[in-house]
């Protein structure tokens, strides 16, 4: 497992309402504190989550279909296609992967909310590398 991916994922969720994260090569399971205010989670809630306050929501991991370079936007002058917390619809462009001087748009497979972006702009990706985690609606 790539330690950089784990560190990036921890940085993304450290100030969120996530109380539990289970990541396997095949799936991601996220448990959130449903009573938390946006962006605020107490350490006590993380250490001792109450069953009454947590619920599991299904997530989908978007993986790279090819080898190339990951880009969050169409060019350096434009805004990223999506940010963490954005609502996305099936077919919406999430990023582009440049391979052999061709820009390949990577689309969402489900309607949901982007909960994690696992790659940095300009980072090399391989086939099957996890790129995004989307919480299904």
Q: What is the mean pLDDT of residues 108-118?
A: 93
Mean pLDDT, to the nearest integer, of 77-83? 94
CA atoms within 13 A on the CB side of 94: 32
Question: CB of 100 within 8 A of CB of 91?
Answer: no
pLDDT value of position 78: 93
Mean of pLDDT over the chain? 79
For residue 39, give the 3-state DSSP assignment.
Answer: coil
Q: By percentage, how much of the chain surpasses pLDDT 90?
A: 55
Give the pTM.
0.61
The per-residue pLDDT for 11 is 73
Q: For residue 44, is pLDDT > 60?
A: no
Domains of the chain and any CATH numbers = 3-136 (2.40.50.100)
**Lowest-pLDDT range of 31-35, 61-65, 101-105, 132-136:** 31-35
């Amino acid at each position: 497992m790539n330690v950089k991916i784990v560190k990036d994922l921890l940085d993304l969720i450290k100030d969120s309402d996530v109380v539990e994260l289970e990541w396997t090569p095949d799936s991601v399971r996220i448990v959130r504190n449903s009573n938390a205010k946006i962006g605020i989670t107490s350490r006590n809630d993380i250490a001792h989550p109450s069953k009454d306050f947590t619920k599991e929501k299904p997530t989908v991991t978007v993986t790279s279909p090819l080898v190339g370079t990951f880009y969050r936007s169409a060019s350096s002058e434009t805004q990223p296609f999506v940010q963490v917390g954005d609502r996305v619809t099936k077919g919406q462009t999430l990023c582009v992967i440049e391979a052999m001087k061709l820009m390949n748009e990577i689309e969402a497979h489900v309607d949901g909310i982007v909960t994690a972006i696992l790659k940095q702009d300009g980072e090399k990706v391989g086939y099957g590398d996890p790129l995004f985690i989307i919480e299904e609606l």
